[in-house]
Amino acid sequence: MKVKTRKVKKSRIDEVDFDHLKFGEMFSDHMFRMDYTDGKWLEPEIVPFGPIEVLPSLSTLHYGQTVFEGLKAFRSRDGGINIFRPDKHAERMMHSCERVCIPQVGKDIFVDAVEELVRLDQAWVPSARGTALYIRPLALAMESYIGVRVAESYSFFIMTSPVAAYFKEGLNPVKLMTSGEFVRSCPGGLGEAKTAANYAASLFPAYDANRRGYAQVIWLDALEGKYVDEVGTMNICFVKDDTLITPSLEGTILPGITRDSVLQLARHWGMKVEERRISIDEVMASIKDGSMTEAFGTGTAAVISPIGEIYHKGETAIINDGRIGPVSQKLYDTITGIQYGEIPDPFGWIHTV
């Protein structure tokens, strides 16, 4: 893919304190942009990162016709750059686009665009263990009108941001509470697509959880309020009787790329894996009787986030004495080891720039 490139006159990289990175606050010099009009995607370009001009009547601001992705690039042990599973992120974005009637960005175009942008801004990829260059693709309707209909013009952007750990706890176990009266998605809804609407629904419950001293919310199903769906920013897994259990994908759960990586690794190691519905009652009872020894979240931002405590309807369950478990630790070490080029990649997950 030929990409027209307009570089910045002066880099902002000197403004970055790479020793004290936060998540998603500083953005690299350039961004990728490609516009869609008259039934086709137009010529792609890389331009300086900066404002985009829109009118207050932009349809996306009113009706939410927008989807996004999140993936990472890592500075490998030999100094090169590894992008983790961009092909799977491209496939998920294509599905998300289809769900909200946005013209799909082809898989090859997505991967090539990510590679070109990371190559141009490769100096922004931090080198410390635990850091990465976060990559945020975004597709949105760009028409200005007030009316509920599918737009005819769109833009596809990719921006990048040097980041450290997503949770302030890092790899230390987090405390979670269940979602109570709130729901995130229901059968037939948008739960399996990475749309802005899903995250808008999660903001108040997450804010309320934070006020109570919890890092995030465990979402329960919308119909019965009984079965575990996912965590606000992650999929969720449990280790019970030496079996890895994760809620099955039934249309209400985002099919996480890290989730898929975890399942592949567990099966590769010969571990028993179950993708099934699991009730919060089973979770709480299994923690208390000792058969459930670990719980952890999986996601691009945090990779593996061990869960040390779950609060549900006035009851608190402490998992593994609030410590990270051996399966969580092994998964984290293996996935990050592959990402940083420290151990072999038997699955072909790494795309090297």
Q: What is the pLDDT of residues 113-129, one digit of tens each?
A: 999 999 999 999 999 99
Has residue 233 got a pLDDT over 90? Answer: no
Has residue 46 got a pLDDT over 80? Answer: yes
Calpha distance 234→305 (Å, rounded):
9
Q: For residues 2 and 223, which has the higher predicted lDDT (pLDDT)?
A: 223
Band (169; pLDDT cuts 50, 70, 90): low
Mean pLDDT of 242-262: 96
Has residue 320 got a pLDDT over 70? Answer: yes
State CA 49 to chain mean position distance: 22
Contact 175, 242 (CB under 8 A): no
Mean pLDDT of 141-156: 96
Q: What percent of the chain has pLDDT over 90?
A: 93
Calpha distance 164→338 (Å, rounded):
18
Has residue 315 got a pLDDT over 80? Answer: yes
Per-residue tokens: 253: 């759960």
Residues of the chain with CATH 3.30.470.10: 4-164
So what's the pLDDT on residue 155? 98
Q: Which of 71, 20, 47, 18 is nearest to 121 (CA)?
A: 47
So what's the pLDDT on residue 232? 85
Mean pLDDT of 306-312: 97
Per-residue tokens: 66: 């927008």
State the maximum Cα–Cα separation within the chain, in Å, rounded to a whole number: 63
Per-residue tokens: 287: 């923690």
Backbone angles phi, psi at 180, to 5 degrees: 60, -130
Residues of the chain with CATH 3.20.10.10: 174-332
CA distances from 207 to 169, 200, 204, 212, 218 (A): 17, 12, 5, 9, 13
Q: Which helix (H) or strand (E) holds 344?
A: none
What is the CATH architecture of 4-164? Answer: 2-Layer Sandwich (3.30)
* Sequence-separated (6 or more) residues with CB below 8 Å from residue 208: none
Calpha distance 32→52 (Å, rounded):
12
Band (2; pLDDT cuts 50, 70, 90): confident
Mean pLDDT of 84-91: 98
The CATH class given to the 174-332 domain equals: alpha beta
Has residue 69 got a pLDDT over 90? Answer: yes
So what's the pLDDT on residue 168? 63
DSSP label at residue 88: H
User: Mean pLDDT over all residues of the chain?
Assistant: 95
Calpha distance 54→335 (Å, rounded):
40
pTM score of the predicted model: 0.95
State CA 73 to chain mean position distance: 13
So what's the pLDDT on residue 37? 96
